[in-house]
Structure 1
Amino acid sequence: MSFISKLKTLTLGAAALSLMAGSALAADVTIRIGHLNPADPTESHSGAMTAVFKSLVETASGGDIEVKLFPNGQLGKDNEVIQQVRDGIVESAISSAGGIAQHYPLVGVFDIPFAFPNIYVSNKVMSLDSDFGKKFAADMEAKTGLHTLSMLDSGGFFAFTNSKKPIKTVEDMEGLRIRTMTLPTHQAMVNSLGGQATPLPWAEVYTALQTGVADGQMNPIPIIAFAKFDEVQKYLSITNHVITPYIWTINKDFYEGLSPEHKAIVDWAAEVATESGRGISRIIEASSKGLPKLAEKMEVNAVTPEEAAKFAASAQPAVRKLIEENYGAEGVEMLNAMLADIDKYK
């Protein structure tokens, strides 16, 4: 039996046990979690994370905690769901940097192009165990009332797709309308490379690419795959130019109101679930669900290290300048804390 088949079987089995436990006795606590991605734990990291979290929490709590999942943007756009968490309407969300930025703009420090050398370093830095991760989570909680359960990469390093031509050099970016998240840093990055940044919410991306409102977009391979962008994009260019976080938050007042036992269960389950999310992203990247699947329909090229250095030289100053101008001294301090941890783990 393959790893993915085993994961499906374990998830379905645990869910069945949870349902039986819940039917015997009503739960004392309910945790509702919203996210944008597919529910299938083998298709997206947040699908895997929420499935694992639900089974662990409901089983470990003996049915005292019920976890309700709302995938595929059922609760609204990313920034809207985050506001629901802040307001206590929903308890928890797993959110993209684009959604987080509208509530906590300093998430933009992650967007210095080519800052992270590899996935190992990003795993170490995007963690509540790192010095930077602790500083980042504490500051966001103080300013938003969002307690961070975990953070991880959004699916890996970003690649560009478009419908016009392969992107092999900086010059190839000229004039391309590239959809970005509503992140000023991403917009500055694309514009500095000669493209035309086109910020759009996630729910509108496929249609925008299909109708030509945008020529292309940038995302990790797993997201490009499950979003089926190969249906509306011809070229895939592996640039590995940036890696952004997904951040799992929970309403601070709700979290602090949990009993010590329930809080320990939630923390433990979130940590295990996040490792599951990291793992499924790497599996998708390397399996027939990822790059091989996309290559069946798309023309794929990898930007050379020499050209990547030119991309970095064009984009890094623009993003750093924006952070300095828009976020001031605290933005520079947070950026420097991240870069220090990158150097530490490099």
Structure 2
Amino acid sequence: MGATVTTANNDEKTWGGGHNEPLGASYGKMMMWFFIVSDALTFSGFLGAYGFSRFKFIETWPLADEVFTHFPFMHGVAAPMYYVALMTFILIFSSVTMVLAVDAGHQLKKTKVAIYMFLTIIGGLIFVGSQAWEWKNFIKGEYGAVETVGGSLLQFVDKDGKRVALADFAVKLPEQREALTRSKSTWFMEDAQTLPTYTVAEVQAGFKAHPEILIRTEKLTDKKKKTILSREESEKHLASAKYVVEGANLIRNEYGNKLFADFFFFITGFHGFHVFSGVIINIIIFFNVLLGTYEKRRSYEMVEKVGLYWHFVDLVWVFVFTVFYLV
């Protein structure tokens, strides 16, 4: 219904969420569009910050093809970007099923709406689960590296340039290590972190015992390849090692520049939260469809509104996939 605002000169009609709908959209759709536009600006800011940071630290930025190489049930097989591409396909396919659900709603076909909504939910759950699995592998790491006193990252390769894991050459030394905490009479500014599998001394000893292993720095050459040092240079750089880095977190990153891990957790986590929220909303709408709520109203506009949100989430992932993984 229209609301009336009285002024000194005349009466003006303002939109009260009923008739006189802007652009022919209902109040609910208009509010969803407001949310989508504001959220799009947020994601644009995140991706813009990522782009600026990558441009600034381009020489030490990790190569996505070397980071995202895992595929479920294919342990030890290098599959660069394959699973990320599959995740993208699944999410886009779920957007197609959402379109079909909206179309079925326009035709008031309850059964078809329920089927397509169910398929959309399954696609969303697979994507969220896949993203959690990807996070697990990213945090755990695969090869390990060491960080020098100056903050540089050193990775290990064989003479052919293939990565070598710390477990393949590090030796166990008879040394007892203990993670000191505040409860053990030692005061730290930060809480103690989990100890790495190997100490710097064990990595250095193993490196000396394997002359075929070389060190690769995080800096890229003109051919977009990591710089591999000679054996003599490798020994010199390893002498300044301070930390053993396994996997990635908000402090250290075995794959390269620390900001890469920060942006990965923040951007993909923020998007994953959107997908998870969309799945929850879709489940609620799905049960309402089964209960015949919208059939009684003779309108499936709620399906259309949640469809707008789902398409937005899918579109954002296309940009994240392009900027973060492909470029």
TM-score greater than 0.5 by the shorter chain: no
TM-score computed with the length of structure 2 as normaliser:
0.27
Which has a greater percent of strand? 1
Using structure 1 for the length normalisation, give the TM-score.
Answer: 0.26
Greater Rg by CA: 2
